[in-house]
Chain A
Amino acid sequence: MQHAEPITVPVDTLLDWYRTLVFCRRFEEQTERSFRRGKIGGYLHVAIGQEAVPLGFLSAIRPDDVFFVSYRDHVHTLVRGTDPGMVMAELYGKLGGTCKGKGGSMHLFDVARGNYGGYGIVGGHIPLAVGAAYALRYQGTDRVCLCFFGDGAMNSGALHEAANLAGLWGREGLCPVVFVVENNQYGMGTSVERASAVVELARRFDAYDIPNERCDGMDVVAVYEVARRVVEEVRRTGRPYAVEALTYRFSGHGAADLFQPYRTKQEVERWRQRDPILVLERRLREAGALDDEAVREVEAWAEKRVQEAVSFAESSPEPPPEELYRDVYGA
């Protein structure tokens, strides 16, 4: 880990982040309930426990920057400012969803906000992000591209081919991409130690001459500090960078991962001590910026906002049959 000058984040921003983290948590919990009630179908991958990573990184980029995400994409989409009702409606398969109900949980898009989507094949979106970064420089801009993926994608050929291209194109200053490895310790049920010959995943980017570091993915301030510095550098140099954020998902891999035989309750409990909401809450309480009443207020606000999203999703119409054949081709 490298240490630069600490960035002082204003308390108001920290409070905003706290509200966002609590809201995202309540939102994800609601999606699990809605899944159990049959309102959400297919696969559902929540990011409970991992929220600080997307929040920290997406707080460090500009509105005109772009990003690509794996299928665990709800939190990224929410913190980027997409209307929660539209996100929930997408999960409900409704016309009012981000993609008119045609993508679902794994394919949230909001291109107007630079969200180039969630992708369902592990590692499959990483080459896209490298090409997108090239395009941004080709077009003569100083925009950057973030590419979020899990530890599981580190073992896919797509990652390695894309990283090699990024290293090559970066030498010419033509690949402003940040690889954000959301290392939640497990690729589905297989731990990093059982899947990767090198467990310090960041180091694997050395092979492509891509500067890299690890950060604490449970502390949004720590994530943000790294993200801001790295994004600034990538924007300036046009060279790729990789950050491995150490994080943990408290929920199962997907909604069907009920028994989790690959890990112990004790392990989950240990990580829960470092729940990103708790970490930030402690920080704010120590600063005297948050008390019990304020916490209750945030909880009530978050719950209300989630219920509004559910109401929107419930009342949104199903996509009409004409949508079946729309969007297959352009022109």
Chain B
Amino acid sequence: MTYREALRSTLVEEMDRDPRVLLLGEDIGVYQGTFRITEGLLERYGPKRVIDTPISELGFIGAAIGMAMLGLRPVVEVMTWNFSLPAADQILQNAAKVRYFSGGQVSVPLVIRGPNGAGVQLSAQHSQSLESFYGHFPGLRVVAPATPADAKGLLRTALRSEDPVIFLEHAALYGIKGPVPDEDYTVPFGQAAVVRRGRHVTVVAYSRMLHLALAAADELAREGVECEVVDLRSLRPLDMETVAESVRRTHRAVVVQEQWPLFGAAAEVAAGIYERCFDDLDAPVERVTGEDVPAPYARNLEKLAFPDEDRIARAVRRVLQ
């Protein structure tokens, strides 16, 4: 099953199961969705449950929060996460906090989902990764599945959660295929997965970077280097225990992220490793990140701006020296 189909089929199953689930977003209905995640759903559920919104993120994300407060379970599609920024005030100031400042009187069971990160030559305004931005705020859950199975399992958990969930997909992943269990399984928040066993170095990644890390691990295996690859899956809550458990065995770690280096997820994970297993480390933790520049348009410059397999492999070789 593809990542796209995993998402779409989960929406269908949950909408069939729970009449409180409804969808909002730009061009998710008549147009069938920019990335066709919501294909056919307007026809299946009607315009009251599949709401084509105007280009008005602040308005409709705020409205979705209000729906959630009144007991519905809205799923908002952002065409890309870049477009969530006009609604940042709603997400950060209302959704993330209203449970707290109401003393626990209201819940916001809201899922906001869409592609995060760079595409191909989309330039500066359409290539951002916002996981550390949203991950900074208590009250939000932030997940970034890398496989079809995790996309389904995490979306199920998100749709059954009582909290606002920032669900980060990746445009480059929609077409990938992978096995998806038949049963009604869920992937809990805050549970990383060891997706490849190895004894020389722990490589931590998530979302699209996981696939680069696995490709780098294949290449390194030919040199006799055995990488253990950990897929974070959730960024908030962050499962540092699984990461630390691995690093205690390998004594070396490389953390990979697509986003900018400063104050990023990799810095957070590296700090968590130092806090938990400083004495186990045989080398400083390496970070592989996007370059500290707005995303350029030119193909050659863009390739320089984001991590690739070679850079991950080089970082692994450095920590092994």
- Chain A residues proximal to chain B, CB less than 8 Å: 66, 68, 97-104, 107, 109-111, 116-117, 119-121, 124-136, 138-139, 157-158, 161-162, 164-165, 168, 172, 174, 326-331
Contact = CB atoms under 8 A, between A and B. Distances in A.
Nearest to A118: B101
Contact of A161 (B56, B68, B102, B138): B56
A242 B100 CA distance: 30
Contacts of A101: 103
A138 B48 contact: yes
Interface stretch (B58-66, B142-150, B174-182, B263-271): B58-66
Interface in B109-139: 109, 138-139
A86 to B, nearest CB: 11
A150 to B, nearest CB: 17
A110 B103 CA distance: 10
Given A135-B67, A138-B48, A139-B71, A161 B94 contact: no
A128 B63 contact: yes
Contacts of B64: 131
Contact of B63 (A119, A131, A329): A131
Contacts of A134: 63, 66-67
Contacts of A66: 70
B161 interface: yes
Nearest to B58: A161
Contact of A165 (B63, B74, B86, B101): B63
Given A327-B100, A328-B138, A127 B105 contact: no
B194 interface: no
B16 interface: no
Interface string B40-79: 0000000110000110101111111111111110100000
A131 B53 contact: no
Nearest to B72: A135
22 contacts: A101-B103, A103-B101, A109-B101, A109-B106, A124-B89, A124-B93, A127-B62, A130-B62, A130-B63, A131-B62, A134-B66, A135-B71, A138-B22, A158-B62, A158-B89, A161-B58, A161-B59, A164-B54, A165-B53, A328-B99, A330-B109, A330-B163
Contacts of B161: 330-331
B95 to A, nearest CB: 9
Chain B CB count within 10 A is highest, among A66, A128, A157, for A128
A132 B101 contact: no
A99 B63 contact: no
Contact of B103 (A100, A125, A165): A100
B290 to A, nearest CB: 30
A132 B69 contact: yes
A132 B66 contact: yes
B193 interface: no
A148 to B, nearest CB: 14
Nearest to B65: A128
A97 B101 CA distance: 11
Contacts of B109: 330
B104 interface: yes
Contact of B105 (A109, A129, A164, A328): A109
Contact of A128 (B62, B102, B105): B62
Nearest to B104: A327
Chain A CB count within 10 A is highest, among B47, B67, B163, for B67
B105 A99 contact: yes
B98 interface: yes
Chain B CB count within 10 A is highest, among A109, A111, A161, A331, for A161
